[in-house]
């Protein structure tokens, strides 16, 4: 019998059915074990301290103290990987799910409506637990709601001469909620983001970033012209790229097959940015599982553009930054807290060089 320690999981949910379903999945995995069960947010917090579980699965809607408040406490007082396990969907719960990810939850997994659907939960839950087991949240700070700096006046219309492409996956919503609001209002570039996220959630995510940011943030639309001072978020379930049009670079939303198992994927976006902008392209790879963005970052750097990578040590999941460094290298490697300033500095340098050569 193996003496290897199994990863412990605390299940916080007011539904006895869901607690049993998760217990069955965890118990049959051979990789994880149940640390305990909590029926509300207060119990979850207490059991985190008493049992010290490796991972917490957390429902958002619970009686008493809800999941969001419990999550905020856990990530501030006893940080550990948290997976939101909820029946909320993109129609009724996108804002809550996005807020949970912003507070530091690693992933969002939909729970079944009935026991008959339990088999459909096993694969995504186990995948999320495996990612959580490899995650590093020890340096995660509670992300307070920043002061609102909504842009004023009409949206910008100047065609972008510089493009910043950002790739993020697991841990990305929280990372982007730190980076995008810190970008200056006078950023002389367009920012295009691929965050691995399912269909239906990215519009709410873009709206949330927009409410926190000095730049205009929106979900990308097919055929839209790329303009400066604007942040575009790839729509969930679709790839995003850029093409040259008569009026300037434009966004292209497509339904091609998944790349590296994800859609949207960052590599096609980065490659199109490299083709259209060359030395006026800046690629940024943030936290995430896998290797998406590495090939695209190499294309940007080979075209004369700049490559910026979050330090793996500061990433909740270091897979994407590590792969990018291995395949593409980087012109600059910085911790998450310095990413926004690094982007702004690179854009200013790039703009000065472009103006000088014009």
Q: Which residues are bridge partners to 264 per DSSP? A: none
CB atoms inside a 10 Å sphere around CB 295: 20
User: Two tokens at 103?
Assistant: 């507070």
DSSP, collapsed to helix, strand or coil, labels residue 98 as helix
Q: Which class for 325: exposed (0-12), middle (13-18), buried (19 or more C-beta within 10 A)? A: buried
Buried b or exposed e, range 299-309, using 16+ CB within 10 angstroms? bbbebebbbbb
Q: Judge contact between 164 and 270, C-beta under 8 A.
A: no
Q: Judge contact between 130 and 170, C-beta under 8 A.
A: no
Q: Which class for 23: exposed (0-12), middle (13-18), buried (19 or more C-beta within 10 A)? A: middle
Alpha helices, H only, 104-221: 118-134, 172-179, 202-212
Read off φ and ψ for residue 284, nearest 5 degrees: -130, 125
Could you give the residue numbers annotated as active site? 169, 196, 292
Provide DSSP, 293-347. Answer: THHHHHHHHHTT-EEEEE-GGG-SS-HHHHHHHHHT--SEEE-GGGHHHHHHHHH
Give the 3-state secondary structure of 102-122. Answer: HHCCCEEEECCCCHHHHHHHH
The DSSP output letter for 8 is: E
The DSSP output letter for 79 is: -
Q: Judge contact between 137 and 79, C-beta under 8 A.
A: yes
The number of residues in the chain equals 358
Q: Judge contact between 307 and 289, C-beta under 8 A.
A: no
């Amino acid at each position: 019998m193996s003496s290897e320690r199994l990863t412990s999981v605390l299940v916080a949910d007011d539904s006895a059915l869901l607690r049993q379903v998760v217990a069955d999945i965890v118990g049959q995995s051979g990789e994880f074990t149940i640390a305990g069960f909590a029926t509300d947010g207060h119990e979850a917090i207490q059991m985190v301290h008493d049992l010290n579980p490796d991972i917490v699965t957390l429902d958002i809607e619970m009686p008493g103290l809800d999941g969001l408040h419990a999550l905020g406490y856990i990530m501030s007082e006893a940080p550990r990987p948290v997976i939101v396990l909820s029946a909320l969907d993109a129609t009724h719960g996108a804002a809550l799910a996005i807020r949970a990810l912003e507070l530091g939850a690693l992933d969002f997994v939909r729970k079944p409506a009935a026991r008959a659907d339990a088999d459909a939960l096993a694969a995504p839950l186990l995948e999320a637990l495996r990612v959580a087991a490899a995650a590093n949240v020890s340096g995660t700070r509670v992300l307070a709601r920043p002061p609102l700096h909504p842009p004023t006046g009409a949206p910008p219309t100047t065609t972008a001469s510089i493009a910043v492409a950002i790739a993020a996956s697991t841990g990305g919503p929280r990372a982007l909620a730190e980076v995008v609001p810190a970008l200056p209002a006078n950023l002389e570039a367009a920012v295009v983001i691929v965050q691995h996220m399912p269909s239906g959630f990215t519009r709410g995510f873009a709206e949330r970033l927009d409410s926190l940011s000095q730049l205009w943030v929106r979900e990308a639309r097919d055929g839209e012209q790329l303009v400066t001072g604007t942040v575009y978020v790839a729509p969930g379930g679709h790839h995003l790229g850029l093409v040259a049009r008569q009026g300037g670079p434009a966004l292209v939303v497509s339904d091609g097959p998944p790349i590296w198992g994800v859609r949207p994927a960052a590599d096609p976006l980065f490659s199109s940015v490299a083709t259209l902008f060359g030395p006026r392209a800046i690629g940024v790879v943030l936290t995430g599982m896998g290797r998406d963005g590495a090939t695209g970052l190499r294309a940007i750097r080979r075209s004369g553009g700049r490559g910026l990578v979050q330090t793996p040590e500061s990433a909740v999941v270091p897979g994407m930054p590590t792969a990018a460094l291995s395949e593409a290298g980087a012109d600059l490697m910085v911790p998450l807290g310095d990413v926004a300033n690094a982007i702004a500095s690179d854009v200013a340098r790039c703009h000065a060089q472009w103006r000088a050569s014009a």
